[in-house]
Structure 1
């Protein structure tokens, strides 16, 4: 790796000269896997010195692609069958076994004086027991600021909650904990997969299913790309938390996690935030619309639904107000994916990147309990408490909801409560508009189990009435139906009744 000599006799710049520049190494190292860094260090003494001594080399450490970080023997014991042929110490606990690969990697990094330089640690999909997380948070040999545990295996969540609550206790030492952000609830980034049309089954022939044909795959892929492009254009950002993305988390977190996030408020940020709806405020339960109602107040819950930057479909706002990057507190903004490569700060992890470089859009997020009866799962249109309040029946029971448009058109369906507030059937109350026909766009109901709760506009698009039997059906989820007949009337073969 010596310097190259040009035609004029002047030495050219080598790779070691470039990487010795701190700015170049800081911008380049996060893109290299760990195996590539070690391979680079093995090429020459100068590069080895740069990789193993510069703090920027391992500032962003992603172990999710390292083969030695995975546990080879899972499960630990399946039905009394011997899980490993080698003899092991009987004092070895289950957590120590599952954390063995990562502890070995951390020991090697510590011996080479590299572990203290790691500020962003990615452990997505690996075996990470709660005891190992406790060591990362509490021990001085670690200096991690951003930790990613998405889809981690063998992670006891209740024990992790205890670890986090102990780390943020009021009597903790000054300057602790060092960790400032944790990715835990969202899905991890997936590596690009191969072309699905080139896959073949075990017999060596391509799949002949209708949904696996190339035309169907191309159509589904372009529909998905069109939807993403539309959401990006409307929200002016590619960050899904700021788009009309709907449900953001693969599973609903428990109420205990909401209490843990509440305890970590202002100390540790997460890739999820608490719902700030008015029903989570104890003061609103005893005053205003919640006075005298035992079912109005809700315990703290994590917001799982991204509603887009437009707010309520009627007033384009919300009672609690949107969260705005640069103005709202850290606890009101989630950590965004992907994880930042060149910085290990909460600001870099929470900053939305707009496509035109303009001001970041507002953030409207809520939990599903605050959106029950007021959020369309197809077009993601929603109404806040000031513009529409579903009835108690609509909030508790899905099957007892009545069709809103028929209630408006029926005689006596509209009842004046106050000067500007009117009641419409069993749906609830809302502000009195200038035209009664505006009620057709307020409220949701579940006409199809596949579509979920949809508004009147989406119902007119996807729900049809059979011209033969007169029953309503969803032409998208009922595979055997047509545009004019339901699946039962469209079936032309002989029918038989199966008694058993």
Structure 2
């Protein structure tokens, strides 16, 4: 009777560079150190390999968290005791925990190997520390994620980015190629890649239940609103993103292609307030295109055909630090490589907030269908939507008439609903 063969040992798996890369990137920093201390063999494979620390997620490292301090007491005694050094600036005070972790990496000569660094939601990320990370020769960060870090001043950040991309900058600078700042770290919509070593049983050993288990669909799915940004902030970011084009990529793009077709269909109520230049795209419409004809915006970017600087960064950041890998869409059919995004202004009254279907100007002009907008009977609206005419109303109160409006009205969620 034959005995079932034992599975390969972990040391054997980690000796394979492809499998090792798929496993190590999912391990927290303390676990990588612990694995390297297990034996000399593990130390040779893990601790002494530069690729072991090429991608670090310090947002899950407890040592980087700033301990909460309540309101300053009247005498200031508690605050002074916490600070210990009155010469510290506010930035130095908050950045202390993260600087401590980075100092450990520096002493162990790990810091130069780090190409991808995730610092999401850390209060210890400050503008002074960011300036050091992206300008100091001690760092070699290519992809940096600082989403929802509360102590970052966005205006100082914009100034820093424009300085990095200024004309006449030093050759081969900046080292930073991609910055994650706009999207929500809590919004996880993944698409699993069924190809490659990560699909093999056991290849995800140690993986955390996060978006790292697959490429995030994000911009390449009908996700809807990906971020909230005011018009004033958007205007300032347009200037920064434009100045960094082709030098530093972001997890956001400008609404350039949808903007070219906006004038003919923009609603009267926003016509006087619409931006004169493309603003930041905040809505992902998915690859399917217009609900009526299937086309996308004029000259919309398609992966493999359009310029790389037309594509946003995709989550999670590529551990290689390579900008091509960082912007590569999730694996899927050909049409999923088409990027269709818009700002709220350009898609006004042509997009369903529920199912995220949308219509191009050729298939639907909200201004022509305005006369039907006052119809109170949703069944009449649904009938009008099926007549094949671009003048018939297709979106009412933010919902598509054919698929979502009646359900929302009957549930009482829409304006004038049965239970509203």
Which category of TM-score, normalised to the shorter sequence, fits these structures? 0.7 to 0.9
- Of the candidates 353, 366, 376, which is equivalent to residue 330 of structure 2? 353
Q: Distance in 2 between matches of 1:80 and 1:312?
A: 64
Q: Distance in 1 between matches of 2:98 and 2:173?
A: 23
- Of the candidates 116, 123, 146, which is equivalent to residue 112 of structure 2? 116
Residue 45 of structure 1 and its aligned partner are, at CA, apart by: 3.8
Does the CA contact (< 8 Å) of 2:396 and 2:405 recur in 1? no
TM-score, with length taken from structure 2: 0.77
Match of 2:152 in 1: 155
Are residues 1:94 and 2:93 paired? no
Match of 1:172 in 2: 169
Residue 70 of structure 1 and its aligned partner are, at CA, apart by: 0.3
Of structures 1 and 2, the one with the larger relative CO (CA 8 A, separation 6+) is 2
Distance change >3 Å, CA 103–CA 238, structure 1 → 2: closer
Q: What stretches of structure 2 of length at least 5 have no aligned partner? A: 1-7, 189-214, 377-383
- Of the candidates 300, 304, 313, which is equivalent to residue 335 of structure 1? 313
Residue 44 of structure 1 and its aligned partner are, at CA, apart by: 2.6
Match of 2:399 in 1: 454
- Of the candidates 100, 107, 125, which is equivalent to residue 103 of structure 2? 107
Where do 1:63-462 residues align within 5 Å? 63-74=58-69, 77=72, 82-83=78-79, 85-86=81-82, 88-127=84-123, 128-188=125-185, 239-251=217-229, 254-277=234-257, 279=259, 298-341=276-319, 343-355=320-332, 360-391=336-367, 403-404=372-373, 406=375, 438-439=389-390, 442-446=393-397, 453-458=398-403, 461-462=406-407
Residue 190 of structure 1 and its aligned partner are, at CA, apart by: 7.7
Give the stretch that moved more between structures: 72-81 or 380-389.
72-81
Q: 1:232-279 CA distances to partner (integer Å, 9 max, x unpaired)? A: xxxxx9613112121112555632112211111111111111101454
Match of 1:450 in 2: none
Does the CA contact (< 8 Å) of 1:441 and 1:456 recur in 2? no
Does the CA contact (< 8 Å) of 1:279 and 1:296 recur in 2? no
Residue 403 of structure 1 and its aligned partner are, at CA, apart by: 3.5
Q: Distance in 2 between matches of 1:371 and 1:79?
A: 53
Q: 1:31-57 CA distances to partner (integer Å, 9 max, x unpaired)? A: 211111121122234433544431011
Does the CA contact (< 8 Å) of 2:366 and 2:393 recur in 1? no
Does the CA contact (< 8 Å) of 2:142 and 2:176 recur in 1? yes
Q: 1:458-491 CA distances to partner (integer Å, 9 max, x unpaired)? A: 465226xxxxxxxxx542428xx9xxx9348xxx
TM-score, with length taken from structure 1: 0.65
Q: 1:6-27 CA distances to partner (integer Å, 9 max, x unpaired)? A: xxxxxxx975566455445333
- Of the candidates 407, 411, 418, which is equivalent to residue 475 of structure 1? 411
Q: Distance in 2 between matches of 1:26 and 1:436?
A: 55
Residue 73 of structure 1 and its aligned partner are, at CA, apart by: 3.2
Q: How many residues align?
A: 372
Residue 436 of structure 1 and its aligned partner are, at CA, apart by: 5.7
Distance change >3 Å, CA 75–CA 348, structure 1 → 2: farther
Q: Distance in 1 between matches of 2:343 and 2:128?
A: 31
The secondary structure found in structure 2 opposite 1:182 is strand
Q: What stretches of structure 1 of length at least 5 have no aligned partner? A: 1-12, 192-236, 395-400, 408-432, 447-452, 464-472, 489-500
Does the CA contact (< 8 Å) of 2:83 and 2:93 recur in 1? no
Distance change >3 Å, CA 181–CA 155, structure 1 → 2: same
Q: Distance in 1 between matches of 2:388 and 2:17?
A: 65
